[in-house]
């Protein structure tokens, strides 16, 4: 019984995290990309301040929906794919096509931003890291 209560509490926490439009947009971008994204890439795609994006990503991490990989002072984020129905729901926001114009516009900005990567490394942020931990070029 206690395990079931913990599962319900975790689900409620995750659903509360997704109840914010900017958190839902960020989760949708991570689902669309299918890889780690640098905070600066999400900032540009969401057209929000770095402070706000980081705060929203922190709430998604606390809810267990995304994971954070620290590389020095920089952070990379990715969607946790083993969250069952919640991960499936987030994925359906972007596949087979975006669910709405807002997310479609976010995806278009993200794809433009990702096109600036060199060898899979975020270079626009100057000191961002690739998925393999290599430092980006300035």
Report pLDDT digits (tens) over 42-81.
999 999 999 999 999 999 999 999 999 987 767 899 999 8
* C-alpha dist (Å) from residue 72 to 39, 64, 68, 77, 118: 13, 22, 12, 14, 20
Q: Is the pLDDT of residue 126 over 60?
A: no
Domain assignments of the chain as residue spans, ordered by start:
2-114
Express as a percent the part of the chain with pLDDT over 70.
85
Residue range 2-114, CATH number: 1.10.10.10
How many angstroms separate the CA atoms of 65 and 9, rounded?
Answer: 14
Query: Is residue 85 over pLDDT 70?
Result: yes
pTM: 0.84
pLDDT for res 43: 96
User: Nearest-5° angle of CA 10, CA 31, CA 120?
Assistant: 130
Instruction: Confirm if 113 and 37 have CB atoms less than 8 A apart.
Output: no
pLDDT at 130: 45
């Amino acid at each position: 019984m206690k395990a079931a209560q913990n599962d319900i509490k975790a689900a409620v926490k995750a659903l509360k995290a997704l109840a914010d439009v900017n958190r839902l947009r960020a989760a949708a971008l991570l689902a669309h990309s299918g890889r780690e994204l640098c905070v600066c890439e999400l900032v540009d795609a969401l057209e929000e301040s770095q402070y706000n994006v980081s705060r929203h990503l922190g709430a998604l991490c606390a809810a267990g929906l995304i994971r954070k990989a620290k590389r020095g002072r920089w952070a990379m984020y990715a969607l946790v794919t083993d969250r069952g129905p919640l991960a499936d729901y987030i994925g359906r926001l972007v596949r087979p096509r975006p669910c709405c114009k807002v997310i479609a516009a976010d995806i278009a900005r993200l794809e433009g931003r990702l096109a600036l990567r060199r060898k899979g490394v975020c270079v626009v942020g100057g000191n961002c890291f690739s998925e393999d931990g290599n430092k980006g070029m300035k």
